[in-house]
Amino acid sequence: MALDLCLKQLPSVLRQTDSGVREPVYEPSSFFADQLTAFSVWLGENSLLTTTLEREHLKQPEQLPIVLQVLLSQSHRQRALDLLARFLDIGTWAVHLALSVGIFPYVLRLLQATSDDLRPYLVFIWAKILAVDRACQIDIIREKGHEYFISTLTDARSSNGVRALAAFNLTCLVDNYTRGQ
């Protein structure tokens, strides 16, 4: 459906470009927004599960790999991070699943982001990841990701909860890891 919409627009876009009369008008696909909505629905339906056993037997959400791709899009990034944080909050199963799908390089790169509105999401997401997989220490330190948590910890504009999570993340980075210390 999304591909059809894009392909339908192609002749018009090419025709307008060739004639040089006016800039082509392209209507962006709602594919990514629709996938985020579907993921939000999945989270809503599965947030009612209360026991660890129930949560660990969930079917993998089909939209998870797409949500990771959406992290690259600035227009949908905050919503994608919010949904990803909610997903990781399900528990260890969700963190392992997200890591197996390839979340790590995406969220590692986002530590370079300077947007203050992303900070609470990124600090929370990293707290969930580091609580489950300390092997991430090596790459975070190598990429200077610890500086993100230090700046969050020292930023008076950050809430106490976000600063506490930043402190937790820093603690995880130095725990039994000499280079992190």
Q: By the 8 A CB rule, do 89 and 131 touch?
A: no
Domain residue extents for the chain: 30-176
Mean predicted confidence (pLDDT) in 131-154: 92
> How many beta carbons lie within 10 A of that of residue 115, not counting itself?
11
Q: Where residue 105 falls among pLDDT bands split at 50, 70, 90?
A: very high
41-88: pLDDT as tens digits: 999 888 766 565 566 667 889 999 999 989 988 899 999 999 999 999
Q: What pLDDT does residue 3 have? A: 61
Amino acid (1-letter code) at residue 159: S
Q: Where residue 20 falls among pLDDT bands split at 50, 70, 90?
A: low
Cα angle for residues 83, 115, 113 (degrees, 5° grid): 85
Highest mean pLDDT among 30-34, 48-52, 103-107, 114-118: 103-107
Q: What is the pTM of this model?
A: 0.82
Q: Where residue 134 falls among pLDDT bands split at 50, 70, 90?
A: confident
In CATH terms, is domain 30-176 a member of 3.40.640.10?
no
Q: Where residue 149 falls among pLDDT bands split at 50, 70, 90?
A: very high
Q: What pLDDT does residue 59 have? A: 81
